Amino acid sequence: MGTVHLSILIHDLVLIFLTVLVLILIMMGAVLFYGFYQYKSLKNKRDWESVIDSRVSNAIVFSEEKEVQESEFFHSHSQEGSFRNLLLEKLVSSKKKFSGVAQDEIQRLFVNYELNKEAVQNLNSTKPYIIAGGIQEVTAMKMTDSLPQVEKYLKHPAAQVYNEAQYAMVVFKGFSGLAFLNTLDTVLSDWQQLRLLGSLQMIPNDTDLSVELWLKSSNLSVVIFTLKLIQKFQMLALYDQVKGLLYHASEKVRLNAVLTLQVLENDRTKDDFMEAYPLQPVKVQLAILRAMKYSNDKRYYDFFMTQLNNQPIVALKIEAAQALLALGFSESLKETAHSKAVSEQIREIVKHVLQQKI
């Protein structure tokens, strides 16, 4: 009986061993198959990219000559969905690399291969990253027909979608594309602000009303963006509105207001800064001192000397000393550095600032 039991046990163990072995082999096979599939996809993508690059490159280089024939490989794949999507992606990125006639040629390829269908399809997707890609595509390829749909995406819940939609509106419509700021309740990131500002090349003359409205927005990022807009286009007429923001509840807005006043500088700026200065937190006071320093106005001498001698906060004393140096009062600073009438702390600060110059 014992021998029979033992042989059954061994038989079971062998079966278990074989089952595990088969499972391991199946798993290894699956991993190998998946790896091979991945490799093939990557290789295909690389091959396709190379063929597409050649097609785009030929179109650009031989644009003035007769129609460039596409390769057989390109022709045979040009109706495949994934190839067409890659072609569209490459054309969009190519537009960021070339300008002038080359860009027109890229646009011509887009039209000739009727890639607008793919772009619209992407725009209608349910996945945010595909919609965002679709918006980039219709924007780069100037598909104005899609503008109403892009506009709807300004209210999309996904940041990547509404960010692209905002950018697209400005690219398509210029300054009037910024109308979404009137009701914007999400934060405009620093990066998005840069993109929007970068895409605006000019503004019409009658923009003050919209800009004033944005300066009063309860969305701080809209106020800050508007201040940067005023800086970029030197909108001098809005000086008083910007000055008012020196007393805004947000420190970040006040800091940007200082920078903007520095750009819009006029005869009143000196008095406006000096009036606002005592009421500001230290960060804003430092920004004001820097703005005064860069104004290159020697009339600030007394003010800076007062800050250096009487200001209790060291950072402000240092900034005032640096400003005096920048305005050309190095002799006066040298005297202060050796004067027994001022404190040891002030003498050290001045010596430090003078040494920095060297």
What residues line the site for another protein (CB under 8 A)? 49-50, 53-54, 56-58, 60-62, 90, 94-103, 198
The nearest distance, CB 230 to another protein, in angstroms, is 21
Contacts of 2 (CB under 8 A, 6+ apart): none
Nearer to another protein, 97 or 232 (CB): 97
The nearest distance, CB 197 to another protein, in angstroms, is 12
3-state secondary structure of 85: helix
Structural contact between residues 232 and 200, judged by C-beta atoms closer than 8 angstroms: yes
Nearer to another protein, 55 or 254 (CB): 55
The nearest distance, CB 82 to another protein, in angstroms, is 19
Burial 321-354 (b: 16+ CB within 10 A, else e): bbbbbbbebeebbeebbeeeebeeebeebbbebb
Nearer to another protein, 5 or 96 (CB): 96
The nearest distance, CB 57 to another protein, in angstroms, is 4
3-state secondary structure of 61: helix
Nearer to another protein, 195 or 252 (CB): 195
Nearer to another protein, 59 or 135 (CB): 59
The nearest distance, CB 249 to another protein, in angstroms, is 32
List Cβ<8 Å contacts ≥24 apart for 186-191. Answer: 186/159, 186/162, 186/219, 187/219, 187/221, 188/219, 188/221, 188/222, 188/224, 188/225, 189/163, 189/221
Q: Which amino acid is at 111?
A: V
Nearer to another protein, 37 or 62 (CB): 62
The nearest distance, CB 355 to another protein, in angstroms, is 26
And the tokens for 165?
A: 């939609």
